[in-house]
Amino acid sequence: MPRTVTAYSNPLVKRVQGLRDKRHRREEGLFLAEGLRILTEARETGRVPVYLFYAAASARHPLVLALVEAVEARGGEAIETIPDILSKLSGKDNPQAVVGVFETFETALTALDRHAAPIWLVAERLRDPGNLGTILRTGDAVGAGGLILVDECVDPFSTEAVRASMGALFTVPIARAPWSEFLAWLRGGAGQLVGLSLQTEQGYRAARYDAPTFLLTGNEAQGLPAGYERECDLLVKLPMLGKADSLNAAVATAVMAYEVLAQHRK
Protein backbone atom coordinates (compact mmCIF):
# COMPACT_ATOMS: atom_id res chain seq x y z
CA MET A 1 0.00 0.00 0.00
CA PRO A 2 1.56 3.36 -1.05
CA ARG A 3 2.43 5.75 1.74
CA THR A 4 2.24 9.55 1.62
CA VAL A 5 5.25 11.82 2.10
CA THR A 6 4.82 15.59 2.14
CA ALA A 7 7.66 16.76 4.42
CA TYR A 8 10.87 18.12 2.93
CA SER A 9 12.72 16.90 6.01
CA ASN A 10 11.81 13.26 5.35
CA PRO A 11 15.06 11.19 5.41
CA LEU A 12 14.17 9.34 2.21
CA VAL A 13 13.53 12.60 0.36
CA LYS A 14 16.96 13.86 1.42
CA ARG A 15 18.58 10.56 0.46
CA VAL A 16 16.99 10.50 -2.99
CA GLN A 17 17.79 14.16 -3.62
CA GLY A 18 21.44 13.30 -2.97
CA LEU A 19 21.44 10.94 -5.96
CA ARG A 20 21.84 13.95 -8.23
CA ASP A 21 25.46 13.89 -7.03
CA LYS A 22 27.83 11.39 -8.69
CA ARG A 23 29.52 10.39 -5.44
CA HIS A 24 26.22 9.50 -3.81
CA ARG A 25 25.12 7.51 -6.85
CA ARG A 26 28.29 5.43 -6.65
CA GLU A 27 27.97 4.90 -2.91
CA GLU A 28 24.31 3.91 -3.11
CA GLY A 29 24.35 2.07 -6.43
CA LEU A 30 21.19 3.97 -7.31
CA PHE A 31 20.15 6.64 -9.80
CA LEU A 32 17.17 8.83 -10.67
CA ALA A 33 14.89 8.68 -13.70
CA GLU A 34 11.85 10.85 -14.21
CA GLY A 35 8.81 10.99 -16.44
CA LEU A 36 5.95 8.60 -17.11
CA ARG A 37 7.21 7.70 -20.56
CA ILE A 38 10.75 6.83 -19.43
CA LEU A 39 9.59 4.83 -16.40
CA THR A 40 7.02 2.97 -18.49
CA GLU A 41 9.70 2.03 -21.04
CA ALA A 42 11.89 0.85 -18.17
CA ARG A 43 9.04 -1.29 -16.84
CA GLU A 44 8.48 -2.80 -20.28
CA THR A 45 12.14 -3.89 -20.38
CA GLY A 46 11.78 -5.51 -16.96
CA ARG A 47 13.37 -2.78 -14.86
CA VAL A 48 11.28 -1.18 -12.13
CA PRO A 49 12.24 1.40 -9.48
CA VAL A 50 13.23 0.58 -5.94
CA TYR A 51 11.28 3.69 -4.96
CA LEU A 52 8.54 5.35 -7.00
CA PHE A 53 7.44 8.90 -6.18
CA TYR A 54 4.30 10.17 -7.88
CA ALA A 55 1.99 13.18 -7.61
CA ALA A 56 -1.41 12.70 -6.04
CA ALA A 57 -3.01 14.22 -9.12
CA SER A 58 -1.59 11.36 -11.21
CA ALA A 59 -2.54 8.57 -8.83
CA ARG A 60 -5.39 7.21 -10.98
CA HIS A 61 -3.54 7.36 -14.31
CA PRO A 62 -3.43 3.80 -15.71
CA LEU A 63 0.32 3.96 -16.40
CA VAL A 64 1.00 5.20 -12.87
CA LEU A 65 -1.17 2.42 -11.47
CA ALA A 66 0.79 -0.10 -13.56
CA LEU A 67 4.07 1.28 -12.21
CA VAL A 68 2.83 1.15 -8.61
CA GLU A 69 1.73 -2.45 -9.07
CA ALA A 70 5.07 -3.44 -10.65
CA VAL A 71 7.12 -1.72 -7.94
CA GLU A 72 5.20 -3.31 -5.08
CA ALA A 73 5.29 -6.74 -6.77
CA ARG A 74 9.12 -6.51 -6.78
CA GLY A 75 9.28 -5.49 -3.13
CA GLY A 76 9.85 -1.81 -3.83
CA GLU A 77 7.98 1.13 -2.34
CA ALA A 78 5.49 3.48 -4.01
CA ILE A 79 5.19 6.91 -2.43
CA GLU A 80 2.49 9.51 -3.10
CA THR A 81 3.82 13.04 -2.70
CA ILE A 82 3.38 16.68 -3.67
CA PRO A 83 4.70 18.54 -6.76
CA ASP A 84 7.13 20.58 -4.66
CA ILE A 85 8.90 17.44 -3.45
CA LEU A 86 8.99 16.03 -6.98
CA SER A 87 10.63 19.32 -8.00
CA LYS A 88 13.13 18.99 -5.15
CA LEU A 89 14.03 15.46 -6.25
CA SER A 90 14.39 16.20 -9.96
CA GLY A 91 15.88 19.68 -9.68
CA LYS A 92 13.31 21.05 -12.14
CA ASP A 93 10.76 23.81 -11.55
CA ASN A 94 8.18 21.90 -13.61
CA PRO A 95 8.68 18.33 -12.49
CA GLN A 96 7.34 15.23 -14.18
CA ALA A 97 4.44 13.33 -12.64
CA VAL A 98 6.70 10.48 -11.52
CA VAL A 99 10.28 10.06 -10.31
CA GLY A 100 11.84 6.63 -9.95
CA VAL A 101 14.92 5.45 -8.07
CA PHE A 102 16.60 2.56 -9.89
CA GLU A 103 19.53 0.29 -9.16
CA THR A 104 22.47 1.00 -11.47
CA PHE A 105 23.32 -1.65 -14.02
CA GLU A 106 25.91 -2.35 -16.70
CA THR A 107 26.85 -5.14 -19.08
CA ALA A 108 30.35 -6.62 -18.86
CA LEU A 109 32.32 -6.10 -22.05
CA THR A 110 32.95 -9.84 -22.28
CA ALA A 111 29.22 -10.52 -22.05
CA LEU A 112 28.45 -8.57 -25.24
CA ASP A 113 27.61 -10.60 -28.32
CA ARG A 114 29.16 -8.65 -31.19
CA HIS A 115 27.05 -10.60 -33.69
CA ALA A 116 23.79 -9.55 -32.03
CA ALA A 117 23.65 -6.36 -34.11
CA PRO A 118 25.41 -4.94 -37.19
CA ILE A 119 26.06 -1.54 -35.54
CA TRP A 120 27.77 -0.72 -32.24
CA LEU A 121 28.52 2.71 -30.80
CA VAL A 122 31.76 3.50 -28.97
CA ALA A 123 32.44 6.80 -27.18
CA GLU A 124 35.88 7.84 -25.95
CA ARG A 125 36.25 10.30 -23.01
CA LEU A 126 32.81 11.78 -23.65
CA ARG A 127 32.24 14.66 -21.23
CA ASP A 128 28.75 16.05 -21.86
CA PRO A 129 25.82 14.11 -20.31
CA GLY A 130 23.45 15.48 -22.94
CA ASN A 131 25.67 14.06 -25.68
CA LEU A 132 25.84 10.69 -23.97
CA GLY A 133 22.07 10.54 -23.55
CA THR A 134 21.52 11.56 -27.17
CA ILE A 135 23.98 8.92 -28.41
CA LEU A 136 22.05 6.31 -26.43
CA ARG A 137 18.86 7.52 -28.07
CA THR A 138 20.52 7.22 -31.49
CA GLY A 139 21.66 3.73 -30.60
CA ASP A 140 18.09 2.72 -29.86
CA ALA A 141 16.86 4.30 -33.11
CA VAL A 142 19.31 2.43 -35.36
CA GLY A 143 19.13 -0.87 -33.49
CA ALA A 144 22.69 -0.70 -32.17
CA GLY A 145 23.90 -3.63 -30.11
CA GLY A 146 25.09 -1.34 -27.36
CA LEU A 147 27.18 1.65 -26.31
CA ILE A 148 30.74 1.02 -25.13
CA LEU A 149 32.22 3.84 -23.04
CA VAL A 150 36.02 3.96 -23.35
CA ASP A 151 38.28 5.48 -20.69
CA GLU A 152 36.84 8.15 -18.36
CA CYS A 153 33.45 9.13 -19.76
CA VAL A 154 30.67 11.09 -18.10
CA ASP A 155 28.38 9.05 -15.84
CA PRO A 156 25.56 7.53 -17.93
CA PHE A 157 23.39 7.49 -14.79
CA SER A 158 23.55 11.25 -14.20
CA THR A 159 20.14 12.89 -14.18
CA GLU A 160 20.98 14.88 -17.32
CA ALA A 161 22.16 11.82 -19.29
CA VAL A 162 19.14 9.76 -18.27
CA ARG A 163 16.83 12.61 -19.23
CA ALA A 164 18.50 13.09 -22.64
CA SER A 165 18.33 9.37 -23.40
CA MET A 166 14.50 9.49 -23.31
CA GLY A 167 14.39 5.92 -22.03
CA ALA A 168 17.15 4.51 -24.26
CA LEU A 169 19.28 3.97 -21.14
CA PHE A 170 16.98 1.01 -20.46
CA THR A 171 16.97 -0.40 -24.00
CA VAL A 172 20.61 -0.04 -25.13
CA PRO A 173 23.21 -2.13 -23.26
CA ILE A 174 26.09 -0.11 -21.78
CA ALA A 175 29.60 -1.40 -21.14
CA ARG A 176 32.66 0.46 -19.86
CA ALA A 177 36.32 -0.37 -20.38
CA PRO A 178 39.79 1.17 -20.70
CA TRP A 179 41.00 1.53 -24.29
CA SER A 180 43.47 -1.36 -24.04
CA GLU A 181 40.80 -3.72 -22.73
CA PHE A 182 38.29 -2.67 -25.37
CA LEU A 183 40.82 -3.06 -28.18
CA ALA A 184 41.88 -6.52 -27.01
CA TRP A 185 38.25 -7.62 -26.85
CA LEU A 186 37.46 -6.16 -30.28
CA ARG A 187 40.44 -7.82 -31.96
CA GLY A 188 39.43 -11.13 -30.46
CA GLY A 189 36.72 -11.51 -33.09
CA ALA A 190 34.98 -9.90 -36.04
CA GLY A 191 34.44 -6.16 -36.09
CA GLN A 192 35.40 -3.10 -38.14
CA LEU A 193 36.53 -0.14 -36.04
CA VAL A 194 35.55 3.12 -37.75
CA GLY A 195 36.81 6.37 -36.25
CA LEU A 196 35.37 9.83 -36.85
CA SER A 197 38.32 12.08 -37.57
CA LEU A 198 39.38 15.36 -39.12
CA GLN A 199 42.76 13.82 -39.97
CA THR A 200 41.60 12.04 -43.12
CA GLU A 201 40.28 12.82 -46.57
CA GLN A 202 38.05 9.74 -46.67
CA GLY A 203 34.43 10.89 -46.96
CA TYR A 204 31.94 9.05 -44.79
CA ARG A 205 29.61 8.21 -47.67
CA ALA A 206 32.35 6.87 -49.95
CA ALA A 207 33.62 4.39 -47.38
CA ARG A 208 32.48 0.78 -47.10
CA TYR A 209 31.25 -0.46 -43.74
CA ASP A 210 31.41 -4.13 -42.82
CA ALA A 211 29.23 -5.62 -40.10
CA PRO A 212 29.62 -5.58 -37.23
CA THR A 213 30.67 -1.94 -37.46
CA PHE A 214 31.97 -0.22 -34.33
CA LEU A 215 31.58 3.56 -34.66
CA LEU A 216 34.15 5.36 -32.52
CA THR A 217 33.46 8.96 -31.48
CA GLY A 218 36.12 10.91 -29.61
CA ASN A 219 36.13 13.56 -26.92
CA GLU A 220 34.06 16.64 -27.78
CA ALA A 221 36.97 19.09 -27.54
CA GLN A 222 39.99 16.99 -28.51
CA GLY A 223 38.66 14.25 -30.76
CA LEU A 224 40.43 10.90 -30.83
CA PRO A 225 44.08 10.58 -29.69
CA ALA A 226 46.46 9.88 -32.58
CA GLY A 227 47.34 6.48 -31.16
CA TYR A 228 43.68 5.49 -31.09
CA GLU A 229 43.20 6.64 -34.67
CA ARG A 230 46.08 4.41 -35.78
CA GLU A 231 44.27 1.40 -34.36
CA CYS A 232 41.15 2.08 -36.42
CA ASP A 233 40.43 0.00 -39.51
CA LEU A 234 38.99 3.08 -41.17
CA LEU A 235 38.93 6.82 -40.51
CA VAL A 236 36.15 8.88 -42.06
CA LYS A 237 35.31 12.54 -42.21
CA LEU A 238 32.03 14.42 -42.39
CA PRO A 239 32.08 17.32 -44.88
CA MET A 240 32.05 20.76 -43.26
CA LEU A 241 31.03 23.42 -45.79
CA GLY A 242 30.72 26.34 -43.39
CA LYS A 243 33.09 27.93 -40.88
CA ALA A 244 32.68 25.30 -38.16
CA ASP A 245 35.38 22.62 -38.24
CA SER A 246 33.26 19.82 -36.78
CA LEU A 247 29.79 18.75 -35.73
CA ASN A 248 28.58 18.15 -32.20
CA ALA A 249 29.71 14.66 -31.10
CA ALA A 250 26.17 13.31 -30.72
CA VAL A 251 25.05 14.75 -34.06
CA ALA A 252 28.11 13.34 -35.86
CA THR A 253 27.44 9.92 -34.32
CA ALA A 254 23.84 10.01 -35.50
CA VAL A 255 24.80 10.97 -39.06
CA MET A 256 27.35 8.16 -39.19
CA ALA A 257 25.03 5.60 -37.65
CA TYR A 258 22.35 6.19 -40.27
CA GLU A 259 24.87 5.98 -43.10
CA VAL A 260 26.10 2.64 -41.77
CA LEU A 261 22.51 1.47 -41.36
CA ALA A 262 21.70 2.45 -44.95
CA GLN A 263 24.70 0.54 -46.31
CA HIS A 264 23.91 -2.56 -44.27
CA ARG A 265 20.34 -2.52 -45.51
CA LYS A 266 21.53 -2.48 -49.12
pTM score of the predicted model: 0.93
Which of 3.30.1330.30, 3.40.140.10, 3.20.20.70, 3.30.70.1450 is the CATH number of 3-103?
3.30.1330.30
- How confident is the model at residue 93, as a pLDDT? 76
For 109-265, the fitting CATH number among 3.40.1280.10, 3.40.640.10, 3.30.1280.10, 2.20.28.270 is 3.40.1280.10
pLDDT one-digit tens code per residue, 159-178: 999 999 999 999 999 999 99
Residues of the chain with pLDDT under 70: 1, 245-246
CB 67, CB 39: distance < 8 Å: yes
The residue extents of the domains of the chain are 3-103, 109-265
* Interval 2-26: pLDDT, tens: 788 888 889 999 999 999 999 999 9
